[in-house]
Amino acid sequence: MTAQTTKTMDIPEEEKRLERQLCFAVYSTAHAFTRAYKPILDKVGLTYPQYLVMLVLWEKAALPVKSIGEQLDLDSGTLSPLLKRLEQNGLITRTRDPNDERQVIVSLTANGEAMRGEVDTIMAAIGQSAGCTLEEMATIREMLQGLRANLTAAV
């Protein structure tokens, strides 16, 4: 992806319409994803943000809260209630790091680990809803990651 500044682009009027805006396409697609995930995740008792936390923990069974927040780009004010609910549901535990009392370590419980088996079902269902092959999803993901990198670098 190469960036062009608006100073060098002559933007046609048609491209200024809401439905032609890339930002709106990404925004509305994110909402559509959340709506598509809801009935799938309801079956396993997770919200979409909780599912993202579980994905992080299924990769590494125990992590500091700060690391989870960094990976998901969530602040502690958003992450703490998610973790509290996951703990209440018996999927994780939160304990103080014995080496650094300021840090809280989040770990999967046996129930949380057992839930990992749901990932294939969840991914297959969302893949069917999206109507994309794994290869198409990979291409879209790479393009979005490049877009995010460009936007992050521009700030």
Tell me the average pLDDT across 47-62.
95
> What pLDDT is attached to residue 80?
93
pTM of the model: 0.85
Residue-level pLDDT at 4: 56
Placement of tokens 């809260």 in the chain: 65
As a whole number, the mean pLDDT across the chain is 92
Give the largest Cα separation in the chain, rounded: 60
For residue 1, the model assigns a pLDDT of 62
Provide mean pLDDT across the span 94-110.
92
CATH of segment(s) 33-154 = 1.10.10.10
* Residue 52 confidence (pLDDT): 96
Domain ranges of the chain: 33-154
Q: What is the pLDDT of residue 122?
A: 93
Q: What is the per-residue pLDDT for 134?
A: 87
Q: How far is it, in rounded angstroms, from Cα 141 to Cα 24?
A: 17
Tally the C-alpha atoms within 13 A of residue 129's C-alpha that lie toward its C-beta: 16
What spatial distance separates the first Cα and last Cα of the chain, rounded to whole Å?
A: 17
pLDDT band at 61 (very low <50, low <70, confident <90, very high): confident
